[in-house]
Amino acid sequence: MTKKVDWESFGWEIVNKVGRALDYWCHNVSGDTLYDCYSAHAELDLYDLAEEFAGWSASGITEKDLELLQKMPKRYYDKFNRYIGREIERVVRNLEKEMEEELELS
Spell out the domain ranges in the chain.
Answer: 7-105
The H-assigned helical ranges of the chain are 7-24, 34-41, 46-53, 63-71, 74-105
Residue 40 above 80 pLDDT? yes
Residue 75 above 70 pLDDT? yes
Residue 2: pLDDT band (50, 70, 90) is low
Model pTM score: 0.89
| Closest residue by Cα to residue 22 from 63, 52, 55 | 52
The conformational region for residue 55 under phi > 0 = left, psi -120 to 50 = alpha, else beta, is left
| Whether 14 contacts 61, CB under 8 Å | yes
Each residue's pLDDT tens digit, 89-98:
999 999 999 9
* Single-letter amino acid, residue 85: G
